[in-house]
């Protein structure tokens, strides 16, 4: 096995870097979409309207039992049949956002449940209107417990993006495969993809640590 | 006795087949300090939780100042109270919890100054200066910028009492306020409660296991067992010369534990 540095630096890295951007873009956008949808799913699941709660619970179960590739293929081929034409990257964002909304909903629910019942009772007895109790008392305390889980979800989302190469979205793995099939050299492109994913996950881990330190306030450490 | 402040009229509360309160009748005068004692599981805390509308009652009516609390008068008939009615009635009530339930993400001062703002629409500056005064009253002014986790149990409970007073209630309800405390911090909390009972005109309802403390501050002691008041009267009568055998048994057990 020979390794060619000139090929790595002159051909592979310049061509894969735009793919890195696609990976980051799809991951971050789909993550925020998942958070947004997950919040509504969680609220629906907790809702007193039992039909809504039922639908949300069933949707979460359904998504959990579904491989992501199936969701990607489904949206990629079925949306155009329904007359909805999205750029492939947006289809990818949509697929991963919808797919990850289910675990996001469960993580958010866990955060709310981590707030002791006594906090609800104190807010009630102190006559907070329900929405103020939620915003001022419960939500700030639910943020801390939620961050590790959401950070995990973000890193998982990075690792899921190569599945988008199945529908020819030009993320890193897709680009690497193209380079390989043109040059018959597999080692350099695939190694570069691996190293870039390693860097991505290390960077996100540091990012999550920073967020954690800023969002979990003085209540834990004192000031 | 002065005017009647609170009245429980045939109030029953059941959890499934378990009857926690059994046709309870209890009347408390304005400014009266009443302590409830009794074995665990006797329904003491449930009385407080029903009064605070934390638990709905199954039968009967609770009255405050002659107005039904858990019911509402609509075109001549008593119907179940709406959340809005409960909210209005709760402005007269303040509760101190066994586990303090301070808000951990706020300083002690914020704990006392924010509820009046968000729940009563008080002006932030007024709420703040009131909170400072109240923290001074419970001896916590030097800790006002601390977070609850930085304080001892006794300090937290004193701050929680200040937070309750900040809402300007007329009735104070204490649910075993010293049960979660280390023995050496119990005294500082009972001193604060004692001051409230003697120097102010609050109507107070207290559940406690501290018999001596209850005797000291109460106008009346109610001994509870199996969801009913077995015996009630002035502290000396109930604690020193109880008439009912169950009261005698309970007090003997408590005396032995001390």
Same domain (yes/no): B156, B115: yes
CA dist A105 and A124 (Å) reads 25
Minimum distance, in Å, between the CA of residue A34 and any CA atom of chain B:
27
Tell me which residue in A125, A129, A217 faces B95 most closely, judged by beta carbons: A125
Which 3 state secondary structure label does DSSP give B74? Answer: strand
pLDDT value of position A217: 59
Same domain (yes/no): B74, B109: no
Tell me which residue in B104, B105, B115 faces A126 most closely, judged by beta carbons: B115
- The pLDDT tens digits along chain A (223 residues) read 688 998 999 989 999 999 999 999 999 999 999 999 999 999 999 888 999 999 999 999 999 999 999 999 999 999 899 898 988 899 999 999 999 999 999 999 999 999 999 999 999 999 999 999 999 999 999 988 899 999 999 999 999 999 998 888 888 999 999 999 999 999 999 999 999 999 999 999 999 888 888 876 554 544 3
pLDDT value of position B86: 95
CA dist A86 and B79 (Å) reads 56
Minimum distance, in Å, between the CA of residue A222 and any CA atom of chain B:
7
Q: Does B154 touch chain A (CB under 8 A)?
A: no
Tell me which residue in A125, A129, A137 faces B103 most closely, judged by beta carbons: A137
Q: Does A124 touch chain B (CB under 8 A)?
A: yes
Strands (E), B144-202: 171-175
Same domain (yes/no): B137, B232: no
Q: Which residue has the tokens 């096995």?
A: A1
Same domain (yes/no): B157, B234: no
Taking Cα atoms as reference points, which of A86, A96, A87 lies closest to residue A28?
A96
**Residues on chain B touching A222 (C-beta within 8 angstroms):** 146-147, 149-150
Please give the residue range of the domain that contains residue B142. 100-168
- Cβ-defined contact of A222 to B147 (cutoff 8 Å): yes
H or E stretch covering B27: strand B18-29
Same domain (yes/no): B71, B44: yes
Taking Cα atoms as reference points, which of A194, A156, A157 lies closest to residue A173?
A194
pLDDT value of position A221: 44
Q: Does A122 touch chain B (CB under 8 A)?
A: yes
- Cβ-defined contact of B118 to A128 (cutoff 8 Å): yes
Same domain (yes/no): B3, B47: yes
What is the domain count for chain A? 1
Minimum distance, in Å, between the CA of residue B69 and any CA atom of chain A:
14
**Residues on chain B touching A119 (C-beta within 8 angstroms):** 101, 103
**Residues on chain B touching A140 (C-beta within 8 angstroms):** 105
Taking Cα atoms as reference points, which of A118, A23, A106 lies closest to residue B160?
A118
**Residues on chain A touching B118 (C-beta within 8 angstroms):** 128-129, 132, 136
Instruction: Let me know: does B36 contact B57? Beta carbons within 8 Å.
Output: no
Chain A residue with minimal CA distance to B145? Answer: A223
A128 is a domain residue: yes
pLDDT value of position B254: 85
Same domain (yes/no): B69, B10: yes
pTM score of the predicted model: 0.83
Cα(first)–Cα(last) distance of chain A, in Å?
A: 57
What is the domain count for chain B? 2
pLDDT value of position B2: 56
pLDDT value of position A220: 52
Give the CATH number for residue B38.
3.40.50.300
Please give the residue range of the domain that contains residue A209. 5-76+83-217
What ipTM describes this predicted complex?
A: 0.93
Q: Does B121 touch chain A (CB under 8 A)?
A: no
**Residue B67 φ/ψ region, left for φ over 0, alpha for ψ in the -120 to 50 degree band, beta for the rest:** beta
Provide the 10 A C-beta neighbour count for residue B52: 21
H or E stretch covering B189: helix B183-199
pLDDT value of position A222: 42
> What tens digit of pLDDT does each residue of B63-108 get?
999 999 999 988 888 899 999 999 999 999 999 999 999 999 999 9
A210 is a domain residue: yes
Residues of chain B with pLDDT under 70: 1-2, 258
Question: Residue A211: which residues within 8 A CB-CB, separation 6 or more?
Answer: A147, A151
B194 is a domain residue: no
**Residues on chain B touching A116 (C-beta within 8 angstroms):** 101
Cβ contacts below 8 Å, chain A against chain B, sum to 61
Give the CATH number for residue A46.
1.10.3720.10
A24 is a domain residue: yes
Same domain (yes/no): B22, B148: no
Same domain (yes/no): B255, B176: yes
Same domain (yes/no): B72, B177: yes
**Residue A159 φ/ψ region, left for φ over 0, alpha for ψ in the -120 to 50 degree band, beta for the rest:** alpha
Taking Cα atoms as reference points, which of A108, A113, A93, A118 lies closest to residue A31?
A93
Instruction: Let me know: does A142 contact A149? Beta carbons within 8 Å.
Output: no
A146 is a domain residue: yes
A171 is a domain residue: yes
A222 is a domain residue: no
Q: Does A114 touch chain B (CB under 8 A)?
A: no
Taking Cα atoms as reference points, which of B130, B97, B40, B145 lies closest to residue A120?
B97
B191 is a domain residue: no
Q: Does B180 touch chain A (CB under 8 A)?
A: no
CA dist A30 and A84 (Å) reads 19
Same domain (yes/no): B64, B122: no
pLDDT value of position A218: 53
């Amino acid at each position: 096995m020979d390794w060619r540095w000139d090929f790595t630096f002159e051909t592979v890295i310049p061509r894969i870097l735009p793919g890195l951007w696609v990976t980051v873009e799809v991951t971050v956008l789909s993550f925020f979409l998942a958070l947004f949808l997950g919040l509504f799913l969680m609220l629906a699941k907790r809702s007193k309207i039992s039909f809504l709660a039922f639908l949300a619970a069933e949707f979460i179960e359904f998504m959990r039992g579904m491989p992501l590739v199936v969701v990607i293929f489904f949206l990629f081929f079925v949306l155009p049949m329904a007359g909805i034409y999205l750029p492939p990257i947006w289809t990818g964002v949509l697929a991963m956002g919808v797919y990850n909304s289910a675990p996001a909903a469960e993580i958010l629910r866990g955060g709310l449940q981590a707030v002791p019942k006594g906090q609800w009772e104190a807010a009630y007895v102190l006559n907070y209107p329900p929405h103020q109790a939620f915003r001022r008392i419960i939500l700030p305390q639910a943020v801390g417990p939620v961050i590790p889980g959401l950070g995990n979800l973000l890193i998982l989302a990075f690792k899921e993006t190569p599945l988008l190469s199945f529908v020819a979205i030009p993320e890193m793995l897709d680009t690497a495969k193209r380079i390989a099939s043109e040059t018959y050299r597999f080692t350099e492109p695939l190694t570069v993809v691996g190293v870039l994913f390693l860097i991505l996950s290390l960077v996100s881990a540091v990012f999550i640590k920073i967020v954690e330190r800023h969002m979990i306030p003085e209540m834990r450490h004192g000031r | 006795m002065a005017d009647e402040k609170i009245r429980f009229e045939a109030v029953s509360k059941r959890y499934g087949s378990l009857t926690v309160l059994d046709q309870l009748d209890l009347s408390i005068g304005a400014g009266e300090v009443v302590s409830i004692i009794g074995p665990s599981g006797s329904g003491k805390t449930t009385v407080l939780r029903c009064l605070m509308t934390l638990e709905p009652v199954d039968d009967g009516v609770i009255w405050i100042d002659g107005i039904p609390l858990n019911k509402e008068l609509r075109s001549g008939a008593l119907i179940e109270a709406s959340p809005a009615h409960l909210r209005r009635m709760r402005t007269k009530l303040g509760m101190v919890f066994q586990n303090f339930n301070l808000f951990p993400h706020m300083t002690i001062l914020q704990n006392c100054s924010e509820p009046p703002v968000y729940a009563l629409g008080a002006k932030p500056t007024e709420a703040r200066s009131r909170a400072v005064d109240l923290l001074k009253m419970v001896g916590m002014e030097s800790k006002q910028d601390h977070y609850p986790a930085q304080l001892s149990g006794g300090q937290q409970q004193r701050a929680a009492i200040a937070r309750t007073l900040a809402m300007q209630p007329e009735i104070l309800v204490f649910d075993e306020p010293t049960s979660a405390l280390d023995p050496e911090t119990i005294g500082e909390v009972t001193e604060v409660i004692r001051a409230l009972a003697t120097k102010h005109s609050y109507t107070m309802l207290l559940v406690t296991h501290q018999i001596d403390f209850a005797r000291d501050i109460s106008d009346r002691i109610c001994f509870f067992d199996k969801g009913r008041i077995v015996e009630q009267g002035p502290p000396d009568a109930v604690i020193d010369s109880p008439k009912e055998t169950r009261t005698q048994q309970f007090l003997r057990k408590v005396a032995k534990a001390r």
